[in-house]
Structure 1
Amino acid sequence: MPSRGIRRKALHLLCRLRNTLRVTSNETERVPVGYIGDVRLDHWPEPERAILHSREGNKVYLRGADPCDEVSERVPVYEGDEVIVMEHIAYISAHTEPEGAAGYMLSQRVVPLREEPGKVFARTLRHGEEDDGRRAHCRPGDEFVLEEMQISVDHVDEWEGKGVDGYVPLTPVLFTWMSFATHHSAEKHRYLLAAARRLDQAQSLFDRIDVLRQSDPEGAPAVRRAVFELVGTTELATVSLGRVVDMCMQARTAIGAAAPVPADIRTRCDGVRAIRNAYEHIEDRALGNVQGSPHPDALTIFNHQRVVADGVIEYGTHQLDLSTDVPSIVNAARQYLKDVAKEV
């Protein structure tokens, strides 16, 4: 058994060894010279919380925090570090012209897929896909590769509807969509845009009718002006809507549409056509005629009282309710024209 003296010497050596190791560790441990909490590039509107992306030697790559990132500590920086702020890409935009803002069509969210040396791969967010806010982040000199791009008429419709209350005009939606979908014939392109313009105009006029019916003008002259405008606007709105109904019903023959015409259009088309024809040929009806011959229904189109009081157009045995029938037809026609535009 070792003597007490030997044990004391051994303990003394161990203590010296521990102290030596502690001093050596302190001498080699790197002490941060600072911490970075926010980063910003010149063209960013605001600073963003800093996230450490990676360290490569003395190069420290930082990126702005995405909405999906968890709360993190500030990034330590050591003596000799070179801090590099990465660029982020959240959207791509489509244009009809190579330069300038005149040809701007729409923007799409892009999300990262993967990284390879010198390349960052991304794709567009799919319509209806949850968006957690993540972005693609690129080092200086990285190539941004859009590996997958998807766009649909529903995506365009959603984009056009941002900030719009109520009805979203269909013509810009179809124009933008068919600018991407080059498989449409020139005839189909013209046909769908013409129908969409009539639909948008009809809806705009029906909106004006709602305003007039809810107005409360003071004095007989003001009341008469409002009534005459209401009747005239109803005539023009119905003529425009009637043309849309015809174009939907004839789309299969005219442009080879495969989508079935919605029941809300099919079941109301006869009444809409009859009323539309009466309004469109008002000069004939004013003489009591239909196609140049006397007809017992001709003068019923001048029963404006129900239009003003009840919001119902009457012509012969046909009726069109502005508060129920018209919205059903407009919504059905809008969806139908979109469905036809989707077809290959």
Structure 2
Amino acid sequence: MSGDESTTGGAENAHPAGVPTITGSNFEIVRREDGAGVVRRTDGRADDGEPLTWLSDVYGVPGTEGPVPVTLYERTGSRVLIRQVDPGEPTPDRIPLFDGDSFYLMLALSHASLHTNLDPGSSEGFLFGVRIVPVRTEGDTVFVRSLRKDEVDDGRRVHVPPGGTVTIEAGSFTAELEHIDSMSEATESGYAPLAPTLWTWLGLGPTDEVTARYLVAAARRLDTANTLFIDVGRRRESLAESGLAGPEIRRRLFDLVGTVELAVIAMGRAMDMVEDANDRLGRNVEVPPSISAAQQSVKEIRNAYEHIDDRAFGNVRERPHPDALTIFNWERLIRENVITYGRHELVVDQVPRLLLDMRRYFKDVAANV
């Protein structure tokens, strides 16, 4: 579980965590070992039934700075349970505290997290977090569920009493591909890495290992293509700088062409896996029209770069071909940001959309696994 682990604070003007005692004109509040704050009268007068002080906020809640507003959850005799005010709640009334009261601050939880190991404190084993909300309370057990897809989040948290437990019943915790994917931060092209998302998603339940390997490998190729095409843009801008000497121009040019070669190969191979996925994985997911339209040109350019040794002799599959040497013509790449081979072309400015369409396709396939 992840959330807001809380410690008991003070009264009236809340006191910092770690200070065992606060005092007023006629009372003191002592922190017990169990974390409770105990209110005691100190002026020797008989109890007149009036509050000794009022509680409005606490200090010392991990992950927060300054006072945290609290509200009354439950009073049973002199045992007072208080909880943090949830986001969006109105300002509550102050909590009256009487001589002999023991008050406890409940643990506030906003999320549950899934891990690959048994240590919830291990960041290495963390998979993803899910927003949780309370369902009901039975004694000291709080039953919770995950927030449903498209459900409005009103800010409610799960508040657990001291010594209490949290229970997630079967069927009340839902992992959603879109939620997992939303944690993947977009790159400057607008494309967000997909391989980590699919690795997490496909590892949550029984999945054919071949399918999982295929989809994660395809996503990895796609992610790499995105990284390389971002680098293509940077290297092309670098080549366009003014005042470069001949040797530096040539160095930057060949860096650009080399990166284009790797980017096209990664993209082309990912595109091949789009083409083959339905047949090889037994799926029936529609291939985006943009991919079908670009596929042949990308494949021809990719083949030319993968077999550049053959093209250097003017050959295609070891036979002379009029298009073979056009892979060495980079004029339109430099002037127009267009990769060409023979009559085939790939407009680099259109690549982000193609990558996003392939990304959506692989997600759709994975969602149906």
TM-score category by the smaller chain?
0.7 to 0.9
The partner residue of 2:249 within 211, 223, 227 is: 223
How many residues end up aligned between the 2 structures?
A: 315
Is 1:86 the equivalent of 2:106? yes
1:104-123 to structure 2, matched below 5 A, reads: 104-123=126-145
CA–CA distance in structure 2, aligned partners of residues 268 and 150 of structure 1: 37
* Residues 228 and 260 in structure 2, CA contact (< 8 A), matched pair in contact too: yes
- Aligned counterpart, 1:57: 77
Deviations 1:217-273 (A, max 9, x none): 632222221111111111110011000110000001111122111111111111111
- Distance in 2 between residues matched to 1:145 and 1:40, nearest whole Å: 28
Measured against aligned partners, the alpha-carbon deviations of 1:42-62 in whole angstroms (never above 9, x if no partner) come to 655444201111111221110
Which amino acid in the other structure matches residue 31 of structure 1? E
1:144-192 per-residue CA deviation (whole Å, 9 max, x = no partner) reads 112311111111110222x865321111111111111x23211101101
* Alignment match, 2:281: 255
* Aligned-partner residue type, residue 339 of structure 1: D
Report the 3-state secondary structure (helix = DSSP H, G, I; strand = E; otherwise coil) of the residue aligned with 1:244.
Answer: helix
- Matched residue SS, 1:112: strand
2:250 is matched by which residue type in structure 1? R
Partners of 1:234 and 1:128 in 2: CA distance: 41
The corresponding residue for 2:361 is 336
Query: Does residue 185 in structure 1 map to residue 211 in structure 2?
Result: no
1:39 equivalent in structure 2:
58
What residue identity is the alignment partner of 2:68? E
Shift in alpha-carbon separation, 1:164–1:331, aligned structure 2, 3 A: closer
Q: Helix, strand or coil: the match of 2:300?
A: helix
CA contact (8 A) 1:239 1:280 kept: yes
The answer to whether the 8 Å contact 1:285/1:299 transfers is: yes
Alignment of 1:172-211 (within 5 A): 172-180=196-204, 182-211=205-234
Q: Please give the secondary structure, in 1, of the residue aligned with 2:137.
A: strand
RMSD: 1.9
Aligned partner of 1:287 among 306, 313, 317: 313
1:245 aligns with 2:264: no
- C-alpha distance in 2, partners of 1:114/1:264? 49
Give, as a single letter, the amino acid of the residue that structure 1 aligns with 2:173.
M
Task: Tell me if the contact between 1:259 and 1:336 (Cα under 8 Å) persists in the aligned partners.
Answer: yes
> Aligned residue for 2:193?
169
TM-score, normalising length: structure 2: 0.81
Give a deviation string over 1:115-166, Cα, whole Å, max 9, x none. 22222111112344332321100111222112311111111110222x8653
* Unpaired stretches in structure 1, ≥5 consecutive residues: 1-26
Taking the aligned partners of 1:256 and 1:209, their CA distance within structure 2 comes to 36
Matched, 1:309 2:335: yes
- Aligned partners of 1:188, 1:339: CA distance in 2, in Å? 13
Partners in 2 of 1:41 and 1:135 — Cα distance? 19
Residue 162 (structure 2) aligns with: 140
Distance across 2 between alignment mates of 1:130 and 1:220:
60
1:339: Cα distance to partner? 0.7
Query: Following the alignment from structure 1 to structure 2, what is the Cα–Cα distance between the partners of residues 270 and 164?
Result: 27
Whole-angstrom CA distance in 2 between matches of 1:177 and 1:323: 31
Note if contact 2:47-2:99 (Cα within 8 Å) is conserved in structure 1. no
- Structure 2 contact 191–356 (Cα < 8 Å) conserved: no
Match of 1:75 among 84, 95, 101: 95
Q: Distance in 2 between matches of 1:110 and 1:296?
A: 64
Is residue 231–residue 308 contact of structure 1 (8 Å, CA) maintained in 2?
A: no
> Residue 66 of structure 1 is aligned with which of 58, 72, 86?
86
Does the CA-based 8 Å contact 1:126-1:151 persist in structure 2?
no
CA distance in 1, matches of 2:268, 2:138: 57
One-letter amino acid matched to 1:333: M
Question: Does the aligned pair in 1 maintain the 2:314–2:324 contact within 8 Å?
Answer: yes
Q: Secondary structure at the match of 2:340?
A: strand
8 Å CA contact retained: 1:61, 1:83: yes
Residues 1:75 and 1:200: Cα distance change in structure 2 (over 3 Å): same
Can you give the 5+ residue segments of structure 2 that lack an aligned partner in the other structure? Answer: 1-45
Percent identical: 40
| Farther off after superposition, 31-40 or 195-204 | 31-40
Contact 1:230–1:308 (Cα < 8 Å) also in 2: no
Give the number of the structure whose residues are more often helix, by fraction.
Answer: 1
1:268 corresponds, among 286, 294, 297, to 294
